């Protein structure tokens, strides 16, 4: 697993769903989260490193992968 936080980016849209990601830059909710490297693989290449993945997408990903055998 990889901890990841994109700082000082202007785009506040989640690169996976397009909704607002709630990014607060340095005080962002995601600074304390752990992002599995597999979720980062889902981000389109042209959006990598440009905005944070939203909490809904992160939670949904974790739920879906925790259900896997």
Query: How far are the Cα atoms of 4, 7, 35, 45 from residue 31, in angstroms, in the given order?
Result: 7, 9, 10, 22
Q: What is the mean pLDDT of residues 1-11?
A: 50
Comparing CA positions, the residue from 52, 62, 56, 61 lying closest to residue 31 is 52
- pLDDT grade for 30, boundaries at 50, 70 and 90: confident
pLDDT in tens, 9-25: 567 899 999 999 887 76
pLDDT at 5: 46
């Amino acid at each position: 697993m990889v901890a990841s936080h994109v700082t000082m980016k202007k785009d506040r849209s989640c690169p996976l769903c397009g909704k607002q990601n709630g990014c607060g830059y340095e005080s962002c909710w995601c600074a304390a989260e752990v992002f599995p490297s597999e979720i980062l693989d889902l981000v389109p290449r042209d959006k990598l490193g440009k905005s944070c993945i939203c909490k809904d997408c992160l939670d949904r990903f974790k739920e879906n992968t925790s259900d896997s055998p």
